[in-house]
Amino acid sequence: MEKFKFVDLFAGLGGFHYALKELGGECVFASEIDTKLRELYIRNHKHKKSLMYGDISKSVDQVPPHDVLVAGFPCQPFSKSGKQLGFEDTSRGNCIFYVIDILERLKPKYFIFENVSNFAKHNDGRTWEEIKNLIKKLGYYVRSSADFNQRLDKCNINLSPHQFGYPQKRERFFAVGSLAYLPTNPFPIPNEIKPSLKKILLSKKDLKKRKDSLIDLDDCQINKQAEESINLWNKFIDCLPNKHKDLPSAFPLWLEEYYSDFPYATQTPYQFLLDKGFNDEKINEELEKLPPYAREKASQFPLWKIKFIDDNRKWFRDFKNSIDKSIVDQIRKMDYTYRKLEWNFKNSNSSDIWDHTIQLRPSGIRVSNPIYVPTIVSLNSSQRPIYGPLKRHLTAREIARVFGFPSSLKLFGNHNLDTKALGNAVHKDVVKLIAKNLLNYGNLKVINDDYSREQKISA
């Protein structure tokens, strides 16, 4: 493959850098707003300090001519887990417009964008539609993973490493662009290779490498309350007639709803107490007796919460006679996180939570397929995946392997910082598959260039 130059925007750990360098690329500009990540990027990629920049809004005019632009622009304004402010998030939501400015001025042959899977749905699809139309007016053919499902030919907004045999489920939005023609669906086709998380776990010999700061078994221990909670939930599941197959998969199980009777459908508990004439002190006292999700000081819950409570109360009515109340009471003594359960692997052959991958998330104990890890979040180390059969969190080195990063990758040696950095990373091998396809199309000849140019704006 021919040599080419690329720029790496919102660079993070440099997943794009690793992928494009393996394809023959040379990085001529990188930007990353986080000072510590910039230092790490320079170390890992042997990148010249003179080519490393910070805030893209202050360095956009420094970007040199290049062939490929890659950008994993900030995802928080478009994520379902955030406020979804989009362009109204003035510090992060408008970063994409600096990217468009570069495309307009320098006209690189290709670009690749990456963001959260919700990006294409944000603002009922209008966010991506606006961006896409702006870029098309610059003369680019624009394709996105939101437009196609490689196997079923239906709308699908996600590409995920597990579709290509890599042991990580991380659904992501990708978009590619080219000044030359692109086929309707230029993305790699899932290969149906079954992932194997077990294969990338460190061996006993590797785990003894004390010089590797990304291997710390002491920090991988599960806290006692989490372990006790998982054991109690196993007992809870054993009470059910069909074990885990009776657990809901469309919504998380909120244990508080086992015998809750607070109002929720037409008004919140707060509004109910207000209508009864209680003063603020009494209202706060009564709200403290309720689960955290019921303490909202508003007149009505959002519809999604009403539905979750509806679904939970119906589920508990259906299975109340099967459940041992003493187990419920024990779980309800745990911290709030451990009182919720998300069973995300309905086709499992085992009802034992320890036979799966597990995450301890604010939304509850999440149980997933053991052949891959679920999405790595960039919050803190306690949310690192747990490999159930080994009853421990994955090490930072194992998580780096999950992303396709080489064993030479250096991190901070601080577990919270490392988890945050990895949680914002792109999967190196998925990016490489996408980029390889994109560059290969550029090497193909279009028979009728005049017709191609005429059709470009309508693509």
237 and 111 in a single domain? The answer is: no
Can you name the residues that pair with 111 across neighbouring β-strands?
A: 69, 177
449 and 384 in a single domain? The answer is: no
394 and 454 in a single domain? The answer is: no
137 and 280 in a single domain? The answer is: no
- Please give the tally of structural domains in the chain: 2
Read off the CATH number of the domain in which 123 is found. 3.40.50.150
Can you name the residues that pair with 178 across neighbouring β-strands?
A: 110, 141
274 and 356 in a single domain? The answer is: yes
58 and 142 in a single domain? The answer is: yes
185 and 212 in a single domain? The answer is: no
The CA dihedral of 100, 190, 156, 116, to the nearest 10 degrees, is -50
Q: Name which of 122, 21, 9 is nearest 72 in CA terms.
A: 9
User: What is the Cα–Cα distance from 42 to 345, expressed in whole angstroms?
Assistant: 40
**Those residues with Cβ within 8 angstroms of residue 329's Cβ, 6 or more apart along the chain or in another chain:** none
126 and 174 in a single domain? The answer is: yes
CA distances, 65 to each of 26, 108, 122, 204, 362 (Å): 12, 7, 32, 48, 44
- State the catalytic residues: 75
296 and 399 in a single domain? The answer is: yes
240 and 127 in a single domain? The answer is: no
Burial string for 372-399 (b: 16+ CB within 10 Å, else e) reads bbbbbbbeebbbbbbbbeeeebbbbbbb
For 291, the domain range is 200-421
CA distances, 200 to each of 145, 167, 400 (Å): 28, 8, 10
For helices 35-45 and 415-423, what crossing angle results, to 10°?
Answer: 80
pTM: 0.84
Three-state SS at 137: coil
The tens place of each residue's pLDDT in the chain, 459 residues long, gives 689 999 999 999 999 999 999 999 999 999 999 999 999 999 999 999 999 999 988 999 999 999 999 998 764 444 344 444 434 434 444 778 889 999 999 999 999 999 887 787 766 778 888 889 999 999 999 999 887 544 444 444 579 999 999 999 998 999 999 999 999 889 999 887 999 999 999 888 888 776 777 887 878 899 999 999 999 999 999 999 999 999 998 899 999 999 899 999 999 999 999 999 999 999 999 999 999 999 999 999 999 999 999 999 999 999 999 999 999 999 999 999 899 999 999 899 999 999 999 999 888 899 999 999 987 765 566 788 999 999 999 988 999 999 999 989 999 888 778 888 888 899 999 999 999 999 998 777 544 444 454 455 455
313 and 339 in a single domain? The answer is: yes
For 203-271, the DSSP string reads: PHHHHT-TT-TT--GGGGPPPHHHHHHHHHHHHHHHTSTTGGGGS-SSS-EEGGGGS-----SSS-HHH
403 and 254 in a single domain? The answer is: yes
